[in-house]
């Protein structure tokens, strides 16, 4: 019965691009993680605050200063939409000027962050490849008494990112 309901849900929302509001196709592995309820959804996302999905050691592999990784449920959004919406103050801050100049904000999709208050996003970067986005993270750099944000490469593909944080292993385990 559960499989039948998932099939109906997939037909309604479209498995090939679960988030139809995005102009980009989500990576196939991300769609599969969403479909199999491994990627957080609206009903369980906040549980990551007390029971993280990603082990601390794996978080350190993608950001040596981070403590946790919080993966957003659908609906993902682009930096450009955030910059003109509720988070416009953060994205227009002078400390963000270098980070903003590194990306095409219409082609960067936020999929998570490094926990409450960090202002450090994790994103799919479609800027150079609309079929196979890189995964990047926003980090804060301190230089003397000045601080600014920069984007750093985390993985050359979503599959590599999923391997690094252990989601590929969870998917394989759940498929057996």
pLDDT digit string, tens, across residues 4-41: 333 333 333 333 455 557 778 999 999 999 999 889 98
pLDDT single digits (tens) 32-47: 999 998 899 888 888 8
CA dist., res. 91 & res. 18, Å (int)? 26
Stated pTM of the model: 0.81
Contact 137, 86 (CB under 8 A): no
DSSP string computed for 60-123: HHH-TT-S--EEPPS--EEHHHHHTTTTHHHHHSGGGHHHHHHS-GGGEEEEEESSTT---EEE
Distance CA 46, CA 135 (A): 22
Other C-beta atoms within 10 Å of 146: how many?
Answer: 8
pLDDT tier at 162, thresholds 50, 70, 90: very high
> Model confidence over 88-139: pLDDT tens digits?
666 667 677 788 889 998 999 999 999 887 888 999 999 999 999 999 999 9
> Could you state, in order of their start, the residue ranges of all structural domains in the chain?
2-175
pLDDT at residue 91 in the model: 66
- Asked if residue 22 lies in contact with residue 72, where contact means CB atoms within 8 angstroms, the answer is no
């Amino acid at each position: 019965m559960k499989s039948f309901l998932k099939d109906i849900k997939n037909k309604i929302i479209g498995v090939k691009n679960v988030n139809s509001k995005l102009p980009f196709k989500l990576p196939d592995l991300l769609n599969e993680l969403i479909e199999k309820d491994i990627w957080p959804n609206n009903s369980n996302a906040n549980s990551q605050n007390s029971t993280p999905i990603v082990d601390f050691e794996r978080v350190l592999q993608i950001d040596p200063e981070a403590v946790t990784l919080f993966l957003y449920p659908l609906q993902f959004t682009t930096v450009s939409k955030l910059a003109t919406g509720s988070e416009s103050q953060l994205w227009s801050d002078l400390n963000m000027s270098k980070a903003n100049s590194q990306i095409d904000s219409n082609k960067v999709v936020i999929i998570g962050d490094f926990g409450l208050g960090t202002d450090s996003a994790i994103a799919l970067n479609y800027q150079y490849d609309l079929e196979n986005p890189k995964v990047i993270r926003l980090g804060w750099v301190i230089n003397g008494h000045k601080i600014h944000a920069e984007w750093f490469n985390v993985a050359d593909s979503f599959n590599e990112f999923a391997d690094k944080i252990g989601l590929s292993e969870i998917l394989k385990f759940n498929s057996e």
